[in-house]
Amino acid sequence: MQLSPIPLEPDTSNPLYQTENCQALISIYDEYYPKAGYQPPWTGYFIIRDNTVVGSCGFTKAPENGRTEIALWTFPEYEGQGIAGFACGELIRIAHEADPTVVLTAKTAPEENASVHLLQKNGFNRHGTVEDEEIGEAWLWEKS
Name the pLDDT band for 6 (thresholds 50, 70, 90). Answer: very high
Name the pLDDT band for 133 (thresholds 50, 70, 90). Answer: confident
Tell me the domain boundaries of the chain.
Answer: 2-143
How confident is the model over 32-53, as pLDDT tens digits?
999 999 999 999 999 999 999 9
How confident is the model over 92-102, as pLDDT tens digits?
999 999 999 99
pLDDT the model gives residue 144: 77
2-143 belongs to which CATH class? alpha beta
Region for 49 from its dihedrals, namely left if φ exceeds 0, alpha if ψ lies in -120 to 50, beta otherwise: beta
pLDDT the model gives residue 134: 86
Average pLDDT on 96-110 reads: 97
CA distances from 94 to 65, 87, 126 (A): 18, 10, 22
Does residue 114 carry a pLDDT above 90? Answer: yes
Nearest to 103 by CA among 140, 57, 141, 66: 66
CB 110 within 8 A of CB 137: yes
Q: Please give the model's pTM, rounded to 2 decimal places.
A: 0.94
In the chain, which ranges are continuous DSSP H helix? Answer: 20-36, 83-98, 114-121
Do you find a cis peptide bond into 41, omega within 30 degrees of 0?
yes
